[in-house]
């Protein structure tokens, strides 16, 4: 799996170099860090849970694909929703989870859906609720880890949507929520 990590880092560096030419570190450093973190998490997880590890790696690759190809900018979000709903496994345990995963992939492929901040908020909130509901079947240790990962991913997606709404002026009270 170390090879995947090296290839992922090299691919991320190449993607950021093509787009940002490294003259704007405030743009390419966060992009590179997020993609490498996702691929690295996958490398670590593969030994314990291969399906989850491969989902993380695929999310990192989709992240870098969005850097290079504007049409792919939201692809990683379908994979993030999948991870959120199914963690610590690689597949959801309930039918409702599968519906949310399907919705996440559909929204990721039809990028205008993710451009709508309300869609981002609703899908992230539903994914969070379904993932918490699926925790009943997880072990105690994994339940805590899963809740933290699920909450973190959902909060990041929701906070990003709220911040974009506040900045664009599309939500009158959102600026207070994010402190802008």
pLDDT higher than threshold 50 for residue 175: no
Percent above pLDDT 90 for the chain: 0
**Cα–Cα distance measured from residue 178 to residue 161, given in angstroms and rounded to the nearest whole number:** 10
Q: Which of 107-111, 143-147, 159-163 has the lowest mean pLDDT?
A: 143-147
The residue ranges of DSSP E strands in 6-156, in sequence order, are none
Q: pLDDT value at position 178?
A: 36
| Confidence tier at 146 by pLDDT (50, 70, 90) | low
| Residue-wise pLDDT tens digits, 11-39 | 777 887 777 767 777 777 777 888 888 88
| Confidence tier at 177 by pLDDT (50, 70, 90) | very low
Residue range 48-75: mean pLDDT, rounded: 84
**Cα–Cα distance measured from residue 180 to residue 174, given in angstroms and rounded to the nearest whole number:** 8
Q: pLDDT value at position 180?
A: 28
| pTM over the 0.75 mark | no
Q: pLDDT value at position 20?
A: 73
Q: pLDDT value at position 174?
A: 39
**Cα–Cα distance measured from residue 83 to residue 76, given in angstroms and rounded to the nearest whole number:** 11
| Residue-wise pLDDT tens digits, 83-129 | 877 777 788 777 878 888 888 888 888 766 666 677 777 777 777 77
92: exposed, middle or buried (Cβ count in 10 Å: 0-12, 13-18, 19+) = buried
Q: pLDDT value at position 45?
A: 76
**CA distances (Å), 168 to each of 71, 112, 116, 174, in order?**
22, 16, 12, 10
**Cα–Cα distance measured from residue 101 to residue 78, given in angstroms and rounded to the nearest whole number:** 7
The tokens of 52 are what?
């989850």
- The domains of the chain are located at 1-73, 75-180
Report, in angstroms and rounded to the nearest whole number, the Rg of the chain calculated over CA atoms.
16
**Cα–Cα distance measured from residue 162 to residue 120, given in angstroms and rounded to the nearest whole number:** 9
- Mean model confidence pLDDT for the chain: 74
Rounded to a whole number, what is the largest CA-CA distance in the chain? 48
């Amino acid at each position: 799996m170390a090879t995947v990590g090296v290839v992922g880092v090299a691919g991320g560096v190449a993607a950021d170099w093509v787009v940002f030419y490294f003259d704007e570190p405030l743009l390419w450093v966060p992009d590179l860090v997020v993609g490498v973190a996702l691929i690295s998490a996958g490398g670590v997880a593969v030994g314990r849970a291969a399906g989850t590890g491969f989902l993380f790696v695929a999310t990192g690759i989709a992240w870098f694909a969005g850097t290079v190809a504007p049409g792919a900018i939201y692809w990683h979000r379908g994979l993030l929703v999948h991870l959120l709903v199914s963690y610590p496994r690689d597949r959801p345990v309930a039918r409702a989870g599968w519906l949310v995963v399907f919705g996440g992939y559909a929204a990721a492929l039809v990028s205008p859906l993710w451009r709508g901040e309300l869609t981002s908020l609703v899908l992230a909130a539903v994914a969070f609720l379904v993932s918490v509901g699926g925790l009943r079947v997880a072990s105690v240790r994994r339940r805590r880890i899963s809740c933290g990962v699920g909450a973190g991913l959902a909060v990041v997606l929701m906070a990003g949507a709220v911040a974009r709404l506040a900045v664009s002026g599309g939500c009158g009270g959102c600026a207070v929520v994010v402190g802008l």
